[in-house]
């Protein structure tokens, strides 16, 4: 039996198989950054260092830095007069070269074998958990205006977890996907091949971890990538590209390409080796990309895999019998941490009248205590939203709510873009269950509450399910099991990540695999085996030991 497994292993990876025990990783512990802690001093020093320089960010193609001379400034959202980087944008020449580099590097990358590839990404995780942690966290705080805690959870812990657990999962399914039966005289096995060709990874601004995970998850199973980072996170993403190269990522496996998403997509789709799209971002962008891929199909070698995690209109439904203080905390943290710029952020709540009467004043009082400002001031719970475009979009919703007959702003509603793009945490109460702020993704610090009569719980579950096209995350707050079960059943397809008595944000790798359906994405659960399986195209191998020497069959006998 042992001998046979070794044979199978040889088929899987042509490079020598290191006998890795595949111990299950643990989630990276979150540092607290409390006053007096070592990590607080370290991050403050690193923030100052990064504030005092303006770096040049090149394209990286086949391991080489390319300074195109066509540059854009990267600024700090909470202090938008401050430039932290000049970014060299890719032209069509770099875009085409990046696709070719990704294709040309794939053979060697496959032949390195799963263990060789995992060794590189596990080294990335160790480097990020160690010396690189403060550099990446500080870059995320400055580039995407995260508080130190939000940066630590995202840029350090979640990405360390993505890298470690993805390697663990990939090793696991290398065994799991082997054929169950090999009759006497036959050896059956499965080679876990990657997709043939390159993956286009188009990444969002809001999570540094997601940005690096999208090109690296397919890479673990042998794919190569063209990585198009968001224009709002070039700086932190570039530092992670540097980290991966220092960890030994071979040239061409991931090619870093700041530039226009539309143009990079056009270049990628005109290369017949385009094998897949790994996308996280808004629903509208993803739908457009899917259509373009459909049109390009006749020119492509393979049917590309399309994986996209997109927008959300995430909810909290409260039952009249629920934990009031727990609900208040979930509403506040779920809606306003990272300025509501999480795909999972609570942005609509259905609250029974008796509960709302009991908590609304306290909720407003607590929200008024929230301090907002520079990410470098650690007493701030909130900072700025990502850019002027986002600021205009969010404040547009607030302004229309101010004019609406059916909606009332009960706290917040003010904003200023003088220094940074700051918007107060805002709560709207509406009598219209399908008001635009109850239905559309706002992606900012705006929560809308629909107050229902205590006896209308069943009706409100129906309204919650039917109101919005999205189905990413949602929570039920209730004390009794029957009420929880009713919501659980009724809201089965309303959220891909469902929370009971908790806020709908903060999914942890290997604990709550993340993703939603309907307009929220393909639900391939980032950070889990399902996502990695999308990047493989197995080859089934039958090896006959006892080779037939006689063409006749017994039934032919007289
Ligand atoms: P976005 O759609 O504006 O941009 C995402 C990426 O797509 C960026 O790199 C952007 O440059 C690129 N892009 C934009 N237009 C393009 C085009 N025409 N062709 C090719 N690429 C194009 O999204 P964003 O503002 O960066 O991120 C916020 C969105 O991401 C929100 O909708 C949020 O809900 C979603 N999101 C979802 C998840 C999830 O797991 N479901 C996680 C994070 C963010």
pLDDT digits (tens, 9 = 90+) for 140-166: 999 999 999 999 999 999 999 999 999
| pLDDT, mean of residues 62-72 | 98
Cβ of 267 below 6 Å from ligand 1: no
Cβ of 265 below 6 Å from ligand 1: yes
Report the distance separating Cα 177 and Cα 162, nearest Å: 21
Q: Looking at per-residue confidence, does 13 or 398 come out higher? A: 398
Cβ of 202 below 6 Å from ligand 1: yes
Full DSSP string of 534-554:
TTB--EEEEEESS-------G
Q: What is the pTM of this model?
A: 0.96
**Closest ligand 1 atom to 265 CA:** 20
Distance from the alpha carbon of residue 308 to the mean position of ligand 1, in angstroms:
10
Closest CA to 518 of 541, 493, 500, 497: 493
Cβ of 342 below 6 Å from ligand 1: no
Supply the residues annotated as catalytic: 309, 343
Cβ of 311 below 6 Å from ligand 1: yes
Letter string b/e over residues 427-451, b meaning 16 or more CB atoms within 10 A of that residue's CB: bbbbeebebebbbbbbbbbbbbbbb
- The mean predicted confidence, pLDDT, of the chain is 95
Phi/psi of residue 502, nearest 5 degrees: -150, 165
pLDDT tens digit sequence for 397-416: 999 999 999 999 999 999 99
Q: Is the pLDDT of residue 204 over 60?
A: yes
Distance from the alpha carbon of residue 386 to the mean position of ligand 1, in angstroms:
13
CB atoms within 10 A of CB 136: 27
Report the distance separating Cα 22 and Cα 168, nearest Å: 6
Residue 15's pLDDT band, with cuts at 50, 70 and 90, is very low
**Closest ligand 1 atom to 521 CA:** 41
Quickly list H helices, 416-480: 436-439, 457-467
pLDDT tens digit sequence for 225-260: 999 999 999 999 999 999 999 999 999 999 999 999
What is the share, in percent, of the chain residues with pLDDT greater than 90? 95
| Inter-residue contact 377 to 420 (CB < 8 Å) | no
Residue 487's pLDDT band, with cuts at 50, 70 and 90, is very high
315 Cβ contact partners less than 8 Å away, ≥ 6 residues apart: 346, 347, 348, 349, 350, 464, 474, 475, 494, 495, 504
Give the residues across from 202 on adjacent strands: 228, 279
Distance from the alpha carbon of residue 282 to the mean position of ligand 1, in angstroms:
4
- What pLDDT, on a 0 to 100 scale, did the predictor assign at position 1? 29
Mutational test site, ligand 1, from 282, 293, 518, 527, max ligand atoms within 8 Å of CB: 282
Range scoring the smallest mean pLDDT among 13-27, 84-98, 407-421, 494-508: 13-27
Give the residues across from 309 on adjacent strands: 280, 521
Cβ of 393 below 6 Å from ligand 1: no
- What pLDDT, on a 0 to 100 scale, did the predictor assign at position 16? 34
| pLDDT, mean of residues 366-395 | 98
487 Cβ contact partners less than 8 Å away, ≥ 6 residues apart: 317, 319, 461, 476, 478
463 Cβ contact partners less than 8 Å away, ≥ 6 residues apart: 350, 433, 450
Q: Is the pLDDT of residue 513 over 50?
A: yes
Cβ of 496 below 6 Å from ligand 1: no
- What pLDDT, on a 0 to 100 scale, did the predictor assign at position 20? 54
Query: Which residue's CA lies nearest to atom 37 of ligand 1?
Result: 310
| pLDDT, mean of residues 372-387 | 98
Query: Which residue's CA lies nearest to atom 35 of ligand 1?
Result: 281
* Per-domain boundaries in the chain: 41-310+521-541, 314-500
| pLDDT, mean of residues 104-132 | 98
Full DSSP string of 7-55:
HHHHHH-SSPPP----PPP-PPPPP---TT-HHHHHHHHHHHHHHT--E
Assign a CATH topology to domain 314-500. Aldehyde Dehydrogenase; Chain A, domain 2 (3.40.309)
Q: Domain 41-310+521-541 sits in which CATH superfamily?
A: Aldehyde Dehydrogenase; Chain A, domain 1 (3.40.605.10)
- What pLDDT, on a 0 to 100 scale, did the predictor assign at position 232? 98
Q: Is the pLDDT of residue 18 over 80?
A: no
Distance from the alpha carbon of residue 205 to the mean position of ligand 1, in angstroms:
7
| pLDDT, mean of residues 439-457 | 98
Cβ of 261 below 6 Å from ligand 1: yes
Q: Is the pLDDT of residue 456 over 80?
A: yes
């Amino acid at each position: 039996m042992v001998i046979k497994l070794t044979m199978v292993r040889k088929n899987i990876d042509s490079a020598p198989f290191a006998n890795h025990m595949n111990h299950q990783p643990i989630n990276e512990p979150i540092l607290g950054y409390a006053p007096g802690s070592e990590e607080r001093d370290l991050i403050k020093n690193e923030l100052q260092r990064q504030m005092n320089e303006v770096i040049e960010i090149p394209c990286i193609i086949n391991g080489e830095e390319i300074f195109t001379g066509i540059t854009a400034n990267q600024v700090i959202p909470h202090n938008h007069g401050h430039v932290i980087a000049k970014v060299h944008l890719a032209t069509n020449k770099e875009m085409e070269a990046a696709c070719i580099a990704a294709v040309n590097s794939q053979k060697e990358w496959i032949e390195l074998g799963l263990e060789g590839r995992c060794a590189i990404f596990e080294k990335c995780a160790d480097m990020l958990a160690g010396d690189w942690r403060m550099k990446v966290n500080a870059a995320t705080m400055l580039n995407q205006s995260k508080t130190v805690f939000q940066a630590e959870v995202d840029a350090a812990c979640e990405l360390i977890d993505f890298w470690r657990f993805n390697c663990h999962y990939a090793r696991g399914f290398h065994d799991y996907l082997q054929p169950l039966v090999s009759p006497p005289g036959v050896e059956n096995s499965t080679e876990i091949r990657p997709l043939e060709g390159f993956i286009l990874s188009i990444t969002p601004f809001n999570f540094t971890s997601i940005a690096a995970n999208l090109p690296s998850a397919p890479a673990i199973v042998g794919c190569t990538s063209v990585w198009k980072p968001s224009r709002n996170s070039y700086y932190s993403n570039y530092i992670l590209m540097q980290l991966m190269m220092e960890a030994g990522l071979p040239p061409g496996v991931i090619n870093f390409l700041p530039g226009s998403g539309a143009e990079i997509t056009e270049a990628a789709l005109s290369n017949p080796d385009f094998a897949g799209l790994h996308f996280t971002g808004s629903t509208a962008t993803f739908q457009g990309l899917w259509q373009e891929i459909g049109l390009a199909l006749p020119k492509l070698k393979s049917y590309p895999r399309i994986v996209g995690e997109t927008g959300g209109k995430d909810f909290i439904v409260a039952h009249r019998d629920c934990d009031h203080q727990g609900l208040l905390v979930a509403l506040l943290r779920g809606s306003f941490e990272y300025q509501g710029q999480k795909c999972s952020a609570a942005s609509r709540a259905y609250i029974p009248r008796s509960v709302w009467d009991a908590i609304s004043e306290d909720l407003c009082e607590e929200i008024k205590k929230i301090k907002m400002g520079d990410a470098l001031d650690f007493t701030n719970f909130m900072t700025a939203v990502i850019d002027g475009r986002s600021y205009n979009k969010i404040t547009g919703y607030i302004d229309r709510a101010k004019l609406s007959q059916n909606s009332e702003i009960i706290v917040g509603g003010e904003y200023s873009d003088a220094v940074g793009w700051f918007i107060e945490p805002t709560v709207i109460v509406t009598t219209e269950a399908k008001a635009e702020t109850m239905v559309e993704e706002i992606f900012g610090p705006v929560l809308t509450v629909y107050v229902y009569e205590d006896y209308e719980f069943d009706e409100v579950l129906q309204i919650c399910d039917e109101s919005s096209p999205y189905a990413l995350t949602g929570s039920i707050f209730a004390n009794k099991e029957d009420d929880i079960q009713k919501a659980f059943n009724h809201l089965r397809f309303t959220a891909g990540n469902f929370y009971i008595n908790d806020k709908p944000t903060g999914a942890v790798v290997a604990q709550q695999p993340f993703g939603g359906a309907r307009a929220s994405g393909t639900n391939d659960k980032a950070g889990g085996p399902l996502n990695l399986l999308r990047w493989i195209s197995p080859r089934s191998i039958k090896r006959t030991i006892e080779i037939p020497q006689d063409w006749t069959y017994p039934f032919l006998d007289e």
